[in-house]
Amino acid sequence: MALEIERKFLVDMSKLPNLVDGIKIRQGYLLAHSPSIRVRVTTNKAYLTIKGKPTNNISRSEFEYEIPLQDGIELLKECKELIVSKTRYEIMHENHLWELDIFEEENKGLIVAEIELTSEDEPFALPSWVTSEVSDDMRYTNANLISHPYSKW
């Protein structure tokens, strides 16, 4: 079983380094609640991901498979309004990869940074551009943002 251990944080945009090479992502949900089943499409790749019920707010099973791009595009059409759009940037900070998501459309204004860890107690350094942790706040999950967009909070 694959285990995802992830922590999420809000971001102070004014303190971010110069962002380059962002990846446009459209992410749709075939099933939004635990387990969630999503399809993610970028410019040239597509993935099908199944995420299990969290054992706590930072750990859960995750199974991700690359699928043919055209299959991903067709599956995304099945998601209809259950789609999140964002641009993702990868930032290395003290030997850890941070994924910074700048949300678009109904979630415009929301910026979240995520770090994946190898264990729940793995130490890591917070970048200066990170503000508050929101790992425990389910409003910030992508699956929640499709039905409760940030612009309506």
Token pair in block for residue 132: 């508050």
> From CA 117, how far away is CA 4, in angstroms rounded?
8
> From CA 89, how far away is CA 107, in angstroms rounded?
17
What's the DSSP call for residue 76? H
Return the pLDDT at 40: 97
Indicate the pTM of the whole model: 0.92
Cβ atoms of 72 and 65 within 8 Å: the answer is no
> From CA 68, how far away is CA 17, in angstroms rounded?
34
Return the pLDDT at 53: 83
Kindly give the confidence (pLDDT) of every residue in the chain, 153 residues in length, as a single tens digit, with 9 standing for 90 and above: 588 999 999 999 999 989 999 999 999 999 888 789 999 999 999 999 999 887 777 898 999 999 999 999 999 999 988 899 999 999 999 999 999 999 999 999 999 999 999 999 999 999 999 999 999 998 999 989 998 999 999
CATH superfamily, domain 3-152, is: Hypothetical Protein Pfu-838710-001 (2.40.320.10)
Q: How many contiguous H segments (helices) and E segments (strands) does the chain have?
A: 2, 9
Return the pLDDT at 118: 93
- Per-domain residue ranges of the chain: 3-152
Question: Looking at the annotation, which residues are catalytic?
Answer: 29
Return the pLDDT at 80: 85
